[in-house]
Amino acid sequence: MVLENWKTNRFVFWVMSLPGTFWLVVFFLAPLSLVWILSFGEKTGILTIDITWTFDNYIRSFEAVYLKVIWKSIWISFLATVLCLIIAYPISIAISFAPNKWKPILLLAVILPFWINLLIRTYALIAVLRTRGYVNFTLEWFWDSANAILAFIGLGSFQLLGAEFDALPLLYNDFAVIAGLVYVFMPFMVLPLYANVEKLDKSYLEASLDLGAGHWRTLRSVVIPLTMPGIISGVILVFIPALGTFLIPDLLGGTNAQMIGNVIERQFKAANDWPFGSALSFLLMYVTFGALALRALLSREGGGMDV
């Protein structure tokens, strides 16, 4: 059996790669290059921009007000990513160890939110978190039920009895933004984790337990190291889009929880300052590329330590 090599038939290789290359150049590289060029321009009028190759837009990006927003965006995205990892890891393990007939159903439940528009899902979360939303309705029911029980058993003088329930401020703050990010990006963490846990050799777990390690020690010393590629992939898939999102903080955070994505969106729309918006966009991209490069460097240095 003779194996085909692309070097022996370059024409077929280039013909097959032409559609993908065309799409990448026209719809990705060309617009990205245009935005990069705009980042070195100056806004000279309402609709006019001169490309003067100035660095003023990047220098302006390092003003304290924008650095504060960038740091806040990184911090919120980091917290949302950590919460996604904490919640998604046991979910992925549970799906992997579930009976085969249940796995497709459980995976469908994870993927199902993708079938609903992001805007609709975010508005649904508003109905859950608002002052007269489902969370506060539930908490108020428990509060009233507790007071009724206290009155029934003769503790009518208890200090909570008769006190009105104060709705929790769950919307239009950082908490709402983090909750929205976790809710929206959770599938991006579950799927790569499940893919790694599913192909994990279960004999390693049995050997660890047989040698006297408990379940927590097995999880910490065996499962987590062997599924580290899935953890890193999930962190990247969640952190990067969360860092640049603007719809979720705009709807759930309001003016109290703005992220860098909202600042960039306003530069392109309300302020009509495309050069500065482009500079902020590429500054965010440089940070992202730096994080990816650091991850690749660490992976290459630790390549000889794989289990």
Q: What is the pLDDT of residue 293?
A: 81
Domain shared by 100 and 213, yes or no = yes
Domain shared by 267 and 157, yes or no = no
Domain shared by 144 and 211, yes or no = no
Q: What is the pLDDT of residue 157?
A: 54
Boundaries of domain holding 291: 61-122+169-302
Q: In 10 A of CB 212, how many CB atoms? A: 7
- Residue of 254, 252, 259 whose CA lies nearest to 280: 259
pTM equals: 0.85
Q: What is the pLDDT of residue 214?
A: 81
Confidence of residue 201 (pLDDT cuts 50, 70, 90): confident
As given in the structure block, the two tokens for residue 120 are 């609709």
The answer to whether residue 253 is domain-embedded is yes
Domain shared by 199 and 255, yes or no = yes
What are the DSSP calls for the chain, one per residue?
Answer: -PPP-GGG-HHHHHHHHHHHHHHHIIIIIHHHHHHHHHTTEEE-SSS-EEE---SHHHHHHTSHHHHHHHHHHHHHHHHHHHHHHHHHHHHHHHHHHS-TTTHHHHHHHHHGGGGS-HHHHHHHHHHHHSTTSHHHHHHHHHHHHHHHHHHHTT-TT-TTTTPPPPPP--SSSHHHHHHHHHHHHHHHHHHHHHHHHHTS-HHHHHHHHHTT--HHHHIIIIIHHHTHHHHHHHHHHHHHHHHH--HHIIIIIGGGS--HHHHHHHHHTTS--HHHHHHHHHHHHHHHHHHHHHHHHHHHHTGGG--
pLDDT beyond 80 at 155: no
Domain shared by 178 and 244, yes or no = yes
- Within 8 A by CB and 6+ apart from 170, the residues are 129, 130, 133, 135, 136, 176, 179
Measured in residues, the chain has a length of: 307
Domain shared by 116 and 261, yes or no = yes
Domain shared by 211 and 158, yes or no = no
As given in the structure block, the two tokens for residue 88 are 């998604």
The answer to whether residue 211 is domain-embedded is yes
Highest mean pLDDT among 16-30, 69-83, 146-160: 69-83
The answer to whether residue 221 is domain-embedded is yes
CATH number (domain holding residue 183): 1.10.3720.10
As given in the structure block, the two tokens for residue 34 are 């245009």
Give the residue with greater pLDDT, 30 vs 208.
Answer: 30
Residues 73-94 pLDDT 10s: 999 999 999 999 999 999 999 9
The answer to whether residue 68 is domain-embedded is yes
Total domains in the chain come to 2
Domain shared by 160 and 180, yes or no = no
Domain shared by 90 and 225, yes or no = yes
Domain shared by 245 and 163, yes or no = no
- Within 8 A by CB and 6+ apart from 54, the residues are 40, 41, 42
pLDDT beyond 60 at 303: no
Confidence of residue 149 (pLDDT cuts 50, 70, 90): confident
Q: Are 173 and 253 in contact (CB under 8 A)?
A: yes
Q: What is the pLDDT of residue 307?
A: 36
C-alpha span between 161 and 143 (Å, rounded): 9
pLDDT beyond 50 at 63: yes
The answer to whether residue 12 is domain-embedded is no
C-alpha span between 291 and 114 (Å, rounded): 27
Confidence of residue 17 (pLDDT cuts 50, 70, 90): confident
Stretch 209-221: mean pLDDT: 83
Domain shared by 189 and 98, yes or no = yes
As given in the structure block, the two tokens for residue 124 are 């649904």
Q: Are 123 and 221 in contact (CB under 8 A)?
A: no
Give CA torsion, residues 123, 129, 135, 137, to 10 deg. Answer: -90
Confidence of residue 305 (pLDDT cuts 50, 70, 90): very low
pLDDT beyond 80 at 204: yes
Q: What is the pLDDT of residue 306?
A: 42
